Chains A and B, each alone.
Chain A
Amino acid sequence: MNKEVEEEKRHPIEDYLRSDMLPHIWCPGCGLGIVLKAYVKALEKAEVPMDNRVVVSGIGCSGRAAGYLNQDSYHTTHGRPIAFATGMKLGNPDLNVTVISGDGDLFAIGGNHFIHAARRNIDMNVICVNNFNYGMTGGQSGPTTPTDSKTVTTPYGNFEHPFNLPHLAASSGAVYVARWTTLDARRLRDSITEALKKRGFTFIEVVSPCPVGYGRPNRIGEGIEEMRLYRETWDLREDNWIIKEDANPSDAEIELHKKILVGVFCDIERPTFMDMYMQMEPIKEKRLKHMVRDERKVRE
């Protein structure tokens, strides 16, 4: 193929990517690129202005997401993206802050940040790319690895109970909770759009293939086979997508080789951290004083 033709080709989201970094380092058949694209398309759909877009990632393959986006992005320390994002949001409440990170980053080392940000209902969006293992460090088991799954640290099968992430998020206080697979690219995009527009702590889990750390050791195979597995769950998903209120997060346990329940599990209203803070009497008085002072300044 000649070069001129190549240069003419521009992906519809090219402007939002750091094109010089592509092709990215993720393995063939890894689902991370799909999540990144859904996020960018959702930003467009939700009409978030460029100056207000912030994405924060931790460490891991998923943590690389921030690095490929041509916008304000932060690649933070392992397990701490939510802590960074919290500070950023409180410092500048106009920002639309999104955390994209892995299951290990958000729920093993970063588990406490997650539950407390949800409890406080800090206005941010968390997207967890769940590939059921620590992909970057060579495929160890983690807090979402389904029971009986094989990883390099569980050669006889994982004997632990995994987290049910939607259930954890909803019971910790998230106002919007959903789960999709990477095959549901369009629904994922629409769901992220809803989350971006929503005030409060939103959580979206994306089940994503990792052929290296999960697919091959568990005899699922390459990324494409893992995606085929997601397709088999399509008959289940219809009722759970359309009737939002009826999908119960406690039914969302994931078991090895079994169908994965997807949909929107929770979409409620609750005052945010900032709302509650601003309602405190001393803060109200202080703000009033500030306003009077500002007005005086303007008059002078």
Chain B
Amino acid sequence: MRIQGYETSIQTSPQVGEEMRFWRKPLDFDKHKIPKGKVIVIAERCKACGFCYEFCPKDMLEESDQRNKKGYKLPKIKEGMEDDCIACRHCEDICPEFGIYIEEIEEEGEDEEKEKKEKEEE
């Protein structure tokens, strides 16, 4: 509903031209970087249910041969996909064992880049 109202106000406002509407979106879009995540498994909690590797949207996890003390096979990151995690936290949310979680990685130089861009805009 709120979004609808916003659109109407732009359309009816004489100051805002057609181009502006199309021009603003991509600029905003650039600013939103896709976040990156580090996958952490608390080995002794895992019960090898397989939810995390079955439902990761990036399909970057799989069952490994490494077992925890109780004999459950732990999940691992697929080879070559170490940097693929988008920190969506779906694995964290659907692990019934509180056994996997994500640490979001701050990318180096991200802030500087942002600042630069903002200056250019001005």
Q: Which residues of A contact B (CB under 8 A)?
A: 1, 6, 9, 11-14, 17, 22-24, 26-34, 37-38, 41, 182-183, 185-186, 189, 222-224, 227-228, 231
CB neighbours (8 Å) of A30 from chain B are: 96
* Bound CA–CA A38/B49 (angstroms): 18
Contact flags B90-101 to A (C-beta < 8 A → 1, else 0)? 101111111101
Besides A28-B72, A223-B96, 7 more A-B contacts (Cβ < 8 Å) are A22-B45, A29-B47, A30-B96, A37-B93, A186-B90, A222-B49, A227-B51
User: Which residue of B has the minimal Cβ distance to A224?
Assistant: B50
Chain A residues with Cβ below 8 Å from B93 are 34, 37-38, 41, 185-186, 189
Q: Are B95 and A33 in contact, with the CB atoms below 8 A? A: yes
B68 to chain A, nearest CB (A): 8
Among residues of A, the one whose C-beta sits closest to the C-beta of B70 is A23
Task: Please list the 5 inter-chain residue pairs (A to B) with the smallest Cβ-Cβ separation, ordered nearest first.
Answer: A33-B96, A185-B93, A28-B47, A29-B49, A224-B50
* CB of A91 to closest CB in B, whole Å: 32
Q: Are B98 and A11 in contact (CB under 8 A)?
A: yes
- Given A28-B49, A224-B50, A227-B51, the answer on whether A23 and B44 have CB atoms closer than 8 Å is yes
Residues of chain A within 8 A of B95, CB atoms compared? 33-34, 37
Q: Which chain B positions have C-beta within 8 A of A9?
A: 40, 42
User: Do A223 and B49 touch (CB < 8 A)?
Assistant: yes
B54 part of interface (Cβ distance < 8 Å): yes
19 contacts between A and B (CB under 8 A): A6-B42, A11-B42, A11-B101, A12-B101, A13-B98, A17-B98, A22-B45, A22-B97, A28-B72, A29-B49, A30-B96, A33-B97, A37-B95, A41-B93, A183-B55, A186-B93, A223-B96, A224-B51, A228-B54
CA distance A222 to B50 in the complex (A): 10
Q: Give A37 to B44 CA distance when docked, in angstroms.
A: 18
Interface residue B61 (Cβ < 8 Å from any Cβ of A): no
Q: Please, how many angstroms separate the alpha-carbon atoms of A186 and B89 in the complex? A: 9
Q: How far is the CA of A139 from the CA of B28 in the complex (A)?
A: 53
**Cβ of B86 under 8 Å from chain A:** no
Check if B60 is an interface residue, CB within 8 A of chain A: no
Interface contact B54-A185, CB-CB below 8 Å: no
Q: Which residue of B lies closest to A188 (CB)?
A: B93
Distance to closest chain A CB from B48 (angstroms):
6
B45 and A12 contact, CB distance less than 8 A? no
Which chain A residues lie closer than 8 Å to B101 at the CB level? Answer: 11-12
In the bound complex, do residue A224 and residue B98 qualify as a contact, i.e. CB atoms below 8 Å apart?
no
